[in-house]
Amino acid sequence: MSLHPDRVGRLKLASHLVIVAGNPNAGKTTLFNSLTGSTQKVANYPGVTVESVEGQYTFAGESIRCVDVPGLYSLKAASEDERVATDVILGRQEGKPELVVYVLDATNLERNLFLFTQIAESQVPMVIALTMPDRLQARGKTVDLERLQSELGVPVVSVVAHEDRKLESLKQAISDALRDKPIPAIDFGLPEGMQSTIRKLSERLARIGVDASQAEIRRNLYEPPELFQRFLEDFPEIAEPFTEARNRLEAEDLLRPSVDVTSRYEWSAKIQSLVLRDAAKPAKVISITDRLDKVLTHRFWGLTIFVLVMYGVFQSIYTVAAPMMAGIEDVFGRLQDAIRPMVSQNEILESFIIDGLIAGVGGMLVFLPQILILFFFIAVLEGSGYLARAAFLMDRLLGWCGLNGRAFIPFLSSYACAIPGIMAARVMPDSKSRLATILVAPLMSCSARLPVYVLLIGTFIEPQYGAFWAGFSLFAMHLLGLVVAIPVVYVLNRKMLKARRLPFVLELPPYQWPKWRDIWLTLVNRGKVFVKTAGTIIVFMSILIWAAASFPRFSPADPVAEAAKFGVAEERAEQWVQEKQLENSILGRFGKAIEPVFIPAGFDWRITTAILSAFPARETIVPSLGIIFSLGGEVDESSGDLQSAMKKATWPDGRPLFTVWTAVGLMVFFALCAQCMATLATVKRETNSWKWAVFMFCYMTALAYVGAVAVNYLGKLFGA
Amino acid sequence: MSAVAGMTFADLKSGMSARVIAVDENCLDSRRLQEMGFTVGTQFSVVKVAPMGDPIEILVRGYRICLRKNECHCIQIESVG
């Protein structure tokens, strides 16, 4: 038996499987992008939020499949991302890798070699890609490649990621290594007591027919308690000898992580001193990075520039995206007009194709401009090194409630739209804080809420209370989500995601020009991920909602005559049919059925149905109200007809339906609710589970309901 | 300058140099901090402190890392030089 279980079964290995692994910021992704280019596929590892990126290339007639694992500092997996990376490197995910390409940052040898010692123990064939030799040279040092190669026992290739000529020699080394299988041969001094315990355990295991290397035994013995427990559960038949050995190490005070970590770092420091040489050219006295940092992390200029940069980014999300979004809507409007005559012989088919399918696909693609623009900026900010500085500046502000300095990107973007905001939570370094960020991001007041606010403020607040209170309520609505998000994220971190947080570590990599290939691949991958996975769900749900609002059909043979029976004038017959259709549909019936639930909030079945039909997207409440008040679906938020219809609407006993408090309650409801299926679909995609999408919908709807009821009761207390 | 014993990261100022003198291994954060290179005897220096007082950027083992002061309480340090 072997100590490598195949947790998800071995995938088909049509070609060679190569893992690209290394420390964060070692230049791993840039190297991976240069190797595999546009062949990349993004997917989630089963059951976790961590993404895997896979690509391939062909060299000398051989097809090489590469997997880019998340950057990690140690195989003693501390975060979910690190655990996934560890599982892949150690062959617990898709079978043992044929080769690990270990990305070694020449400017950070000591710490990078620490992780190398851990991977080396798994006895997997390895090739070292030594990155950033140019940057090391600027510091007045070089690496003696031959010496490094002989110390580590595996081939070392120096690469500058944007010089493709050097990549050829890496590809050559990979192909050679797939044939020769070079295994690292290193020896760092361990205390005698540790070695003898491991030796004895190895002999004992051999007697019961378990063949495991001493390194493998040592790695498992030195797992943190929870992982050691998991290991024992996976292999109950060897639990006893392992537990005994671990107890012996503990008794001899050799189980402390420091014994293990210190011996590795001593070895790393020794290797570094052996291979580093003075370069011909001496170092620059002060690097460009230090000079830039003097300004960009300055307590006044740094913060000023940060605000300006963020303002620029989010201004362009609005202004650059708006015409593109209008263009998409225009194209889909024309498409509807062009196709309508082809399907008009069948009323249901027409409605399905035009209002269900085409509207659904258009309503999904309209998010793409914002997503791509935001990720363009994220890629530039990240690739240049500025994002890390911004996190450095902002960490204090966001750190106390369990987030960290990077969370401002997803939060600010969510003010434009929660979809790119949730996707931008990828900038968060670990999956716990990423999840917390995703779950509260949709509380930020996105631009789709604006039509709701404009309609209600314009109808019930501005005419009565004037421009000051109109402006104040608009501002208050935008602040509400942020204010509510703070306790929510605090509770989420304390109660639900209470798995221990790691100490926050942030590296400030040297400034550099972002690489076009990296930016381009970020955009391609994010676009594909959204359209393929989230997009499919959005279109499917649009069609479901269309069906709920369209069936059962209300289509009298002679609409005008039917309308006349109810005293409706001929020219209003079409709108009247639309209203009856919605009232008669599954959605309308459901709205009537749950009216009692919303009575405490002061909403009748008409408001309730409009809320329900706004599930696809908040702003669709405006046309839905138009239909319900018999004005047809063509109204917009500044329509005078809709405003006066809402003012005139009454309860059956003649009281006005809308008071100013009902209007505020409805705005609070929309500020806090999760009425946006694109958001829910994106949460499903990004967290890789419906569980969190459903959780988000429930908690936000509960908050929205409580908020609306509270406003209604305040209204009763203070009168209006 | 004589070493002041019993310092923690909270006492660090920009430009200071310090050495790790003890790591509390009962503390859960200690493993990660040691893996980042803060083993007993390691010297490091403070590059800069963020405008709002936290985090701090540290030069250790030839590389730079930012840490939050209150997340390093399991490491005892003394100032050097």
Between A314 and A369, the more confident residue is: A369
Quick one: A472 and A601 in the same domain? Answer: yes
Residues A399 and A456 grouped into a single domain: no
Subunit contact B54:A399, Cβ cutoff 8 A:
yes
Top residue of B9, B21, B34, B44 to mutate, by most chain A CBs within 10 Å, is B34
Give the integer Cα–Cα distance in Å for A336 and B24. 68
CATH code where residue B28 lies: 2.30.30.90
Query: Of the candidates B36, B39, B51, which has its C-beta nearest A505's C-beta?
Result: B36
* pLDDT at residue A14, rounded to an integer: 55
Q: Which residues of A touch B30 (CB under 8 A)?
A: 257-258
Sequence-ordered alpha helix ranges (H) in A673-689: 677-687
Domain count, chain A: 4
Establish if B1 belongs to a structural domain: no
Contact A612, A591 (CB under 8 A): yes
Task: Give the model's confidence band at A519: pLDDT under 50 very low, under 70 low, under 90 confident, else very high.
Answer: very high
| B30 belongs to a structural domain | yes
The string of DSSP letters for A689-718 reads SHHHHHHHHHHHHHHHHHHHHHHHHHHHHH
Q: Which residues of B touch A256 (CB under 8 A)?
A: 25
Whether residue A664 sits in one domain with residue A531:
no
Domain that holds residue B33: 9-80
pLDDT digits (tens, 9 = 90+) for A444-490: 988 888 888 888 998 999 888 988 898 899 889 989 988 999 889 88
Using 50, 70 and 90 to split pLDDT, how confident is the model at A569? confident
Provide the percentage of residues in chain A whose pLDDT is more than 70: 95
Identify the three-state secondary structure at position A64.
Answer: strand
For residues A460 and A602, state if they share a domain: yes
Q: Do A209 and A160 share a structural domain?
A: no
Task: Rank A126-140, A176-190, A281-295, A396-410 by mean pLDDT and report only the highest.
Answer: A126-140
Please state, in angstroms and rounded to a whole number, the distance separating the CA atoms of residues A411 and A403: 11
A705 in the same domain as A650: yes
Q: What is the pLDDT of residue B41?
A: 93
Is there a domain that residue A435 lies in? no
**Is residue A11 over pLDDT 50?**
no
Tens digit of each residue's pLDDT (9 = 90 or more) over A347-405: 888 888 888 888 888 888 888 898 899 889 988 998 898 989 998 998 988 887 778 88
Q: How far is B58 from chain A (nearest CA, A)?
A: 10
Task: Name the band, by pLDDT with cuts 50, 70 and 90, for residue A618.
Answer: confident
What is the domain-level CATH number for residue A168?
3.40.50.300
Does A147 lie in the same domain as A172? Answer: yes
Mutate to test the interface with A, among B32, B40, B54, B73 (most CBs of A within 10 A): B32
Please check whether residue A188 touches B, CB under 8 A: no
Strand partners, B63: B60
Q: Looking at residues A606-618, what average pLDDT do you find?
A: 86
A257 contacts chain B (CB < 8 A): yes
Interchain contact A293–B (C-beta under 8 A): yes
Residues of chain A numbered 196-235 and touching chain B (CB < 8 Å): 224
Confidence grade of residue A207 (pLDDT, cut at 50, 70, 90): confident
Question: Is position A56 within any domain?
Answer: yes
* Burial bucket for residue A584 (CB in 10 Å: 0-12, 13-18, 19+): middle
Option in A111, A299, A503 nearest B51 (CB):
A299
Domains: count for chain B: 1
> Chain B contacts of A395, Cβ < 8 Å?
50, 52, 54-55, 66, 68
Most confident of A79-93, A122-136, A644-658: A122-136
pLDDT at A162: 62
Give yes or no for a contact between B58 and B41, defined as CB atoms under 8 angstroms apart: no
CA distance A716 to chain B (A): 45
Alpha carbon distance A271, A285 (integer Å): 26
**Do A533 and A595 share a domain, yes or no?**
no
Query: Is the domain of A164 the same as that of A46?
Result: yes
Per-residue pLDDT reduced to its tens digit, A12-63: 445 788 999 999 989 898 899 999 987 888 877 776 778 888 999 999 888 9
A650 strand-pairing partners: A656
Q: Is the complex ipTM higher than 0.90?
A: yes
- Dihedral sign computed on CA atoms, order A592, A690, A704, A315: negative
pLDDT for the residue numbered A66 = 92
Are residue A96 and residue A43 in the same domain, yes or no?
A: yes
d(CA A616, CA A178): 51
Domain-located, residue A496: no
> How many angstroms separate the CA atoms of A297 and A210, rounded?
56
Whole-angstrom distance between the N-terminal and C-terminal Cα of chain A? Answer: 77
SS3 content of chain B, % helix, strand, coil (to 5): 15, 40, 45
Q: Which residue in chain A is spatially nearest to B53 when comparing CA positions?
A: A396
d(CA A45, CA A52): 6
**Structural tokens at position A637:** 């938020």
For A509, the closest chain B residue by CA position comes to B64
The overall average pLDDT reported for chain A is 86
Q: Among A164-173, A387-396, A595-604, B17-26, which is the least confidently predicted range?
A: A164-173
Range of the domain at A243: 192-253
A197 and A229 belong to one structural domain: yes
Residue from B61, B71, B74, B76 whose CB has the most chain A CBs within 10 Å, to mutate:
B61
Q: What is the pLDDT of residues A434-447, one digit of tens each?
A: 899 999 999 998 88
Task: Identify whether residues A418 and A451 lie together within a single domain.
Answer: no
Residues near B10 by beta carbon (within 8 Å), at least 6 away in sequence = B69, B70, B73
In A, residues 337-376, which contact B (CB 8 Å cutoff)? none
Residue pointed to by tokens 């996707």? A423
A to B CB pairs, distance under 8 Å:
109
pLDDT per residue over A695-709, tens digit each?
999 999 999 999 999
> How confident is the model over A136-150, as a mean pLDDT?
92
Separation in Å, CA A253 to CA A64, A130, B23, B40 = 46, 37, 15, 16
List A residues 94-153 in contact with B (Cβ-Cβ < 8 A). Answer: 107-111, 114
Closest-CA residue to A79 (of A504, A641, A468): A504
Residue from the list A114, A272, A504 with its beta carbon closest to the beta carbon of B71: A504
Confidence of residue A497 (pLDDT cuts 50, 70, 90): low
CA-nearest of A715, A709, A682 to A697 is A682
Residue B7 structure tokens: 């310092």
Average pLDDT over residues B69-78: 90
Q: Is residue A160 within 8 Å of residue A297, measured between CB atoms? A: no
Q: What pLDDT, on the 0 to 100 scale, is given for residue A399?
A: 82
Pick from B28, B32, B64: which is nearest to A508 by CB? B64
Q: Give which of A76, A109, A256, A303 to mutate to test B binding, by max B Cβ within 10 Å.
A: A256
Distance from CA of B5 to the nearest CA of A (A): 21
Show the DSSP H helices in A450-515 as ranges: 450-456, 462-465, 467-491
Cβ-defined contact of A396 to B54 (cutoff 8 Å): yes
How far apart, in whole angstroms, are the C-alpha atoms of residue A419 and residue A530? 9
Of A180, A212, A242, the residue that ends a domain is A180
In a domain, A399, yes or no: yes
Pairing label, strands A62-68, A16-22:
parallel
Asked if A689 is an interface residue toward chain B (Cβ–Cβ < 8 A), one would say no
